[in-house]
Amino acid sequence: MRPPFLRGPVLAADTWVWAARHGDVEVRFTGRGPIGDREAALRAIAPSVPPLAWAKQVHSAVALPARPGACGEGDALVTMEAGLALSVVTADCVPVLVASPQSLAAIHAGWRGIANGVIAAALEKLQGSPGDWTAWIGPAIGACCYEVGEDVAERVTAASGPGVIFSGAAGKPHLDLPGAARLQLSAAGVGEVIVLPRCTRCDAEKLWSYRREGKRAGRNMAFIWREPLLEDLGERDLQTWQQRSGERVGD
């Protein structure tokens, strides 16, 4: 099985993309690009993907069951279905994608979500042993740039543990938001956590950042779905899949 490490960035459809494949699970993180609609952006970089699910993100701790299209208000999506892609969008918050052998989750984790338990809410809905799960943390604002108030620092530290707060040049707290997400995943027993160490505010060439660009900022996107393994497909299903994906077995 190919290791679940992220590869990239590469330009695909004029969009910066990081990708991983782990067994039958496909992961994509995208940065700056010309396409703002998430369905169109995903189809541009991965034409054969299944239908897409998304939520109206509200910085909550709500994990929703996913279905094709809009799934309601919440900040995490969970599915046990192979024929469905999950998505979240971010501009500095942390995108977290999780795969178990039976289920998938996509999580939008800002400081409020991390403090209030959005990661735990999603993990509770996954099936199987956490030791068999893999999580990917995508690009987010780094501790280098994320200055916060004392109240925010205290809430995230209480929810994640020590080691996520640093003192900035002006003496104010800086928060390692991806690090807080990683600590929560590890505390939940997730077997493997892959982190993409890219600060959205620092990388103006490849990533959108609300802290850098304000309301003009676009959105970075995160996607996870399952591909059917060829050995699991019957002849008719295999022919259908090849027509959709443009693949030829044996090439």
Tell me the C-alpha distance between 74 and 60, whole Å: 6
Q: What pLDDT shows up at residue 243?
A: 46
Tokens at 170, concatenated: 């002006």
Is the distance from CB of 24 to CB of 228 less than 8 angstroms?
Answer: yes
Q: What pLDDT shows up at residue 1?
A: 52
Q: How many residues does the chain have?
A: 251
**Domains of the chain: residue spans and CATH:** 7-244 (3.60.140.10)
3-class secondary structure, 238: helix
- Tens of pLDDT, residues 17-26: 999 999 999 9
Which residues does the chain have with pLDDT short of 50? Answer: 231-234, 236-251
Tell me the C-alpha distance between 62 and 44, whole Å: 30
Is the distance from CB of 94 to CB of 207 less than 8 angstroms?
Answer: no
Q: Nearest CA to 99 among 221, 231, 233, 226? A: 226
Q: Any idea what DSSP says for residue 190?
A: -
Q: What pLDDT shows up at residue 216?
A: 94
Q: What pLDDT shows up at residue 168?
A: 86
Is the distance from CB of 126 to CB of 190 less than 8 angstroms?
Answer: no
- Tens of pLDDT, residues 80-139: 998 999 999 999 999 999 999 999 999 999 999 999 999 999 999 999 999 999 999 999
